[in-house]
C-alpha cells in the first residue's frame, strides 16, 4: 500500500513539475507536501527519491529536495538525444505500425487539432504527449520505447514551455500532419527526418527556448 501511494505521489509531483507549478529550483518541503496531500512524510520521501532517480529532482545536503535545474547547453544536448530517439522510433514505426495503430495515431492527431484550433497550449501539450507515445509504441521495440519515454518525461517541463511560444502550437500540429502522412505511407527515412526536425532545438527555436527559460527563472 505504501509503495502504491508513493508511486501515485510521484506521478502527482511529476505532473506539478511538468505543468510549471513547481519550477526549477523550487524547494520541495516534505512536511508541506505531506500536509497538502494528507499523507505521512514517508511516502513523500520515497516519491522524491524516485523523482531524483529520474533526474527531475535533486536531493541536496542541508537543503533537501529541489526541482532540478538544467543549464541551456545541457538542455540542448538532451534535446539532441531526444530528437535521435524520436527519429529511431519513427523509422521503425513506419515499417511496423498496424492499421489499428495508424487509426489510433490519426485519432490522437485529430484531438491535437481540436486543442490547436481552441488555442489551448495546455490541452495540446497533454494530447501531444499521447501522440508521441503512440509512435514510441509503434516502433515495436520495447527497450527503445522505454528509453524514449524516459527522456521525454525528463524534458516534459521544457517541451511544454516551448508550446507557449507564439505560433508554436500551430507549427507543431503542422509538423505532426507531415509525420502522420509519412508513417502511413511507410516512408521510414522521411518519417525519421521529420520526427528529428520536430524535436531539435536550433535557430530561432533555441532563442525562444532560452528566452522562455529566463522568464521561468524570474518566477522561481
Tens-digit pLDDT profile for residues 53-64: 888 899 988 778
Sign of CA dihedral 155, 161, 163, 167: negative
CB atoms within 10 A of CB 4: 9
Mean pLDDT, the chain, integer: 88
The three cell numbers of residue 217 are 527563472
Say which residue, 128 or 167, is predicted with more confidence: 128
- Output the pLDDT for position 143: 98
- Output the pLDDT for position 61: 82
Per DSSP, 27 falls in state: E
Of 10-14, 75-79, 80-84, 203-207, which range is least confident?
203-207
Q: Please, what are the domains in the chain?
A: 2-67 (1.10.10.10), 72-219 (1.20.120.530)
The stretch 5-29 carries a mean pLDDT of 85
- Provide the pLDDT confidence category of residue 157 given band limits of 50, 70 and 90: confident
The stretch 171-196 carries a mean pLDDT of 97
As a whole number of Å, the CA-based R_g of the chain is 18
- Output the pLDDT for position 23: 82
User: Which alpha helices (H) appear in 97-120, and where do they start and end?
Assistant: 99-117
The three cell numbers of residue 189 are 527515412
Which residues in 200-214 are b (16+ Cβ under 10 Å) and which e? Answer: bbeeebeebbeebbe
pLDDT digits (tens, 9 = 90+) for 24-68: 888 999 999 999 999 999 999 999 999 998 888 999 887 789 998
pLDDT digits (tens, 9 = 90+) for 59-102: 988 778 999 887 778 888 999 999 999 999 999 999 999 999 99
Say which residue, 214 or 156, is predicted with more confidence: 156
Q: Cα(120)–Cα(87) distance, rounded to whole angstroms? A: 27
Measuring CA to CA, how many Å separate 22 from each of 12, 15, 26, 56?
11, 9, 6, 11
- Output the pLDDT for position 101: 98
The three cell numbers of residue 80 are 539532441
Name the nearest CA neighbour of 152 among 92, 81, 82: 82
pLDDT higher than 70, residue 204: no
Amino acid at each position: 500500500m505504501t509503495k502504491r501511494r508513493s508511486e501515485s505521489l510521484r506521478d502527482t509531483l511529476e505532473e506539478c513539475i511538468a505543468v510549471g507549478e513547481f519550477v526549477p529550483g523550487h524547494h520541495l518541503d516534505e512536511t508541506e507536501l505531506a500536509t497538502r496531500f494528507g499523507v505521512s512524510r514517508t511516502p513523500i520521501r520515497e516519491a522524491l527519491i524516485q523523482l531524483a532517480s529520474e533526474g527531475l529532482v535533486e536531493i541536496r545536503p542541508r537543503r533537501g529536495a529541489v526541482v532540478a535545474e538544467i543549464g541551456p547547453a545541457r538542455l540542448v544536448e538532451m534535446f539532441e538525444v531526444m530528437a535521435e530517439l524520436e527519429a529511431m522510433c519513427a523509422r521503425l514505426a513506419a515499417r511496423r505500425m498496424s492499421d489499428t495503430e495508424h487509426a489510433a495515431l490519426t485519432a490522437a492527431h485529430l484531438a491535437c487539432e481540436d486543442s490547436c484550433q481552441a488555442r489551448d497550449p495546455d490541452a495540446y501539450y497533454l494530447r501531444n504527449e499521447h501522440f508521441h507515445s503512440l509512435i514510441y509504441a509503434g516502433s515495436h521495440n520495447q527497450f527503445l520505447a522505454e528509453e524514449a519515454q524516459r527522456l521525454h518525461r525528463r524534458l516534459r517541463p521544457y517541451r511544454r514551455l516551448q508550446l507557449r511560444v507564439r505560433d508554436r502550437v500551430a507549427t507543431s500540429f503542422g509538423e505532426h500532419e507531415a509525420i502522420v502522412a509519412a508513417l502511413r505511407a511507410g516512408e521510414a527515412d522521411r518519417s525519421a527526418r521529420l520526427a528529428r526536425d520536430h524535436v531539435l532545438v536550433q535557430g530561432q527555436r533555441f532563442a525562444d527556448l532560452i528566452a522562455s527559460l529566463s522568464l521561468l527563472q524570474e518566477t522561481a
